[in-house]
Chain A
């Protein structure tokens, strides 16, 4: 049991009659980079704030290495937060900001100063120790916020969309840095984001949340390649949702009828049922061929240029649109608008979802 860092069991959070979290249960492992991913307003930040202690929960329990912390105030919980707007104390310099938590824990000045030196080195800000937050760039402020939260050596570090205020290039660099720091410190990170790319590249495991409910928990590969429901498939990356009629499900495989009338067998998500359903096929896993030998047929209706790749939208006979991703190279044949094309994908590329 000790290898579970944060155990969230059956947590429900109500604001008046609005339910922000519905019966969420989640076990976050020790030394894990765990991401809460979902669209804005889905409850991911609320969940993080219940762990930090800024929101109390209506029902359920939150255990930190076995101890129930749900009723403790934030200053009694051995977790620290990196806030979205950083919340650096504007009247204190970098050193005093980082030292704040250490002094409140009762460390003496010398011990605290030594620790400040350590963490500033970790985030490479040693030469900025005397600056005020307003004299730092956004990226530097973000690192101070990280250093301040890491300094007291929390059991769990909570990060509330800490990269959302940075520009793209910086965000990509900081992602790697954050991962590196998580490895070096061995502290459990719980990271909140609405950016799926961020989640996929950084996390050991991801929990996808929508409407206050947990949708799926798994590694980046699992949730991308084996989404359990329509929401997850649609939210993580891009996907084609193809209407099918499921005729049989056995041993985790579904046999279904495609819009073209062809019969197709592919893996099914747990809980998928017979009848009308949706197949998820990623645009990069769909191939264009001659119509005669294909699963689906349609007319190319739109081309979208993406730089390295190109999206070709193919409108099927029943007016459904399937997107195909093809590499931009001189050898690939890009169908012109109106050209009839056939679409093929392998059984492993498709997945029957729970609606």
Chain B
């Protein structure tokens, strides 16, 4: 049985005068220790898919979800609401794009990490010790001192490390990283991806990496799934998709990344009209 099995997932948003179909019946599964990359542009439905995994989306009638999301065989969509808390953060944890807006500015980072542990591991005696330990794991030096720091006292890269520490504090089975490096400098980007690689090896967790940039998934994701307008247009092992993309949209997404040294005069852009 796969760790996560998503079957015919459909998500739509119902506004006053129109219905937006964000996800139009997609299927995917994730095994233990595997990394799946979900690649697509803004509006392709990748973040909505990720949020639906723990039902972080608005309730009906605003948002309708159908299909099945099986987490070890148990359907998340059928679960009573109160049980969702035991999944959120404990089974499936998230890191978001913008660390500076995801952290609460009025609490210390240590306090915010401790919050998750208190909720999910109430039997833990030495919470402070565990928080400091989790800060060390993500490569924050002087963890004892940094425990008392406020988010604004840290750089963007450090804040993202805190977000990762928070997500991993309760040892989740699946880490959903929604554009974790988009807001960061290229050098910090590389550090965060390396950190995720290292943590994946140590803990054997599965990762769902959401990104718009094919550049960062090479050498990181086992499988890639390309989303376009709420549908999965291509799916396969990362190396194979990168070397030999089949769908025109995948080809276009790969082609629009600037390649240093080639001196092409213009960058390739995506002609969306031709793809529909």
Are these two chains actual partners, yes or no?
A: no
Interface residues of chain B, those whose CB is within 8 Å of chain A, are none
